[in-house]
Chains A and B, each alone.
Chain A
Amino acid sequence: MKYVDEFRRGDIARGMAAHIRTLVQPGRQYRLMEFCGGHTHAIARYGLTGLLPENIRLIHGPGCPVCVLPIGRVDSAIELALRPDVILCSYGDTLRVPASNKMSLYQARAKGADVRMVYSTKDALQIARDNPHKQVVFFAIGFETTTPPTALALLQARQEKLANFSVFCNHVLTPPAMRHLLAAGDAVELDGFIGPSHVSTVIGSAPYAAVATEFAKPVVIAGFEPLDVLQAVAMLVEQINAGRTEVETQFSRAVTLQGNDKARERVAQTMTLRDSFEWRGLGQVPHSALAIHPDFAEFDAELRFTLPYRHVADHKACECAAILRGQKQPQDCKVFGIVCTPDNPLGSCMVSSEGACAAHYHYGRFVQGATA
């Protein structure tokens, strides 16, 4: 496939890894956080850690949409889904996220709730058109990549006057989460960020400038293919060696300074910044999520239905919170691979392929940090 295969060539990967080995300074540690689950997945799948010198450590970040969704929000979605007048739609992985009382949206479906898996917001709109006597709620989750499609669905619903459609909005933002990780009292020590690919296609590289300058950390926005990750690592090592803390774009084939204007405008039109939002693992993060814009209040599920929010603690054994903050690894969790597996996830990091626990489970050769 064009734009994929060329960025997966093994011989080039080995050559680039050799190049990185000549760049690293002995005795220096390079602790690089890959913010995005897409990178976590690529690193695990292609065994990139094994190619890198030992003093480069890759640390997983919280950029996995279903991982950071707090139990309380899934509980609200389940509550909605159990109403007889509601059809609840969401993306596949969301349906498997464990919530309170051993429930998930899948289990709610087994209990008779009408829960539908959709591939696109267009499917959710079609379900609303086909079921005029039901309330059709789209349970919207995801980062800046997934937000513009929700925005377009809101605009379309307005245009068609689809009165039985609404959105339960849980969209979250990347740069505020990065700042929060760095500002936390118990912050993980980092020397730089591998920045998100597709999120940056939408928001551009400009929003990371504040993170780079305020916290003096270099950010290199990288593509999701293995050669992209290796090149970004090389760029970060060079910045760290030179004491530079800049935002650079390795994924220049799809990221510009300002991003996708059309997408950003649609989002600004239909959604508004929340004062604060709870993330699994990170807790309350100020200005880190979007709600439906007051102009689109008629499509806001949080206004249409009463959905009181309750904070619910994670399962006692689950280490997702520390993993999402970069402080622990999946292997540090006592139930990893034993009680908690992708078929039967106990925590959210085991649910989707971008989750750190699921990535470690599927690609076991990824043994970074294991006692060697």
Chain B
Amino acid sequence: MCLAMPVRISQLLPDDMAVVDMDGVSREVSVALIDAPQEGDYVILHVGYAIGKLDAEEAARTLALMDQLAAGEQA
């Protein structure tokens, strides 16, 4: 039930709704819980509502750190 997933906002609609793209499938969801949603933003979708934004810079930093840890040990 808490299994939410990251989706991309492809189009903002009236009434705090938006079209999101989930692996090529479009779906209308609510963005009423998101501050200033923008097209192109990635959000976490849960039971029909975006509950938080994903920060691209932080994600890149985490991935770089993971690569570094893994590589250091494989070398």
Contact = CB atoms under 8 A, between A and B. Distances in A.
Nearest to B17: A122
B47 interface: yes
Contact of B49 (A18, A149, A228): A149
Nearest to A263: B33
- Helix, strand, loop or mixed for chain A's interface? helix
A3 B54 contact: yes
A284 B59 CA distance: 39
Given A22-B73, A120-B48, A262-B35, A353 B3 contact: yes
A201 B67 CA distance: 24
A363 to B, nearest CB: 15
Contacts of A195: none
A198 B54 contact: no
Contacts of A254: 44, 52-55
Contact of A93 (B1, B32, B59, B69): B1
A231 to B, nearest CB: 6
B34 interface: yes
B44 A198 contact: yes
Contacts of A141: 1
Contacts of B2: 36-38, 63, 65, 142-143, 145-146, 196-199, 354
Interface stretch (A8-16, A79-87, A127-135, A269-277): A8-16
Contacts of A266: 33
Contacts of A199: 2
A253 B35 contact: no
Interface string A183-218: 000000000000011110110000000000000000
Contacts of A234: 69
Interface of B: 1-6, 8, 22-23, 30, 32-35, 42, 44, 46-49, 51-56, 58-59, 61-63, 65-67, 69-74
22 contacts: A6-B59, A13-B70, A15-B73, A64-B1, A120-B30, A120-B48, A121-B48, A122-B48, A145-B4, A149-B30, A149-B49, A198-B4, A201-B51, A202-B52, A224-B3, A234-B69, A253-B56, A254-B53, A254-B55, A260-B51, A262-B32, A263-B51
Interface of A: 1-4, 6-7, 11-16, 18-19, 22, 36-38, 41, 63-66, 91, 93, 119-123, 141-143, 145-146, 148-149, 152, 196-199, 201-202, 224, 227-228, 231, 234, 250, 252-255, 260-263, 266, 352-354
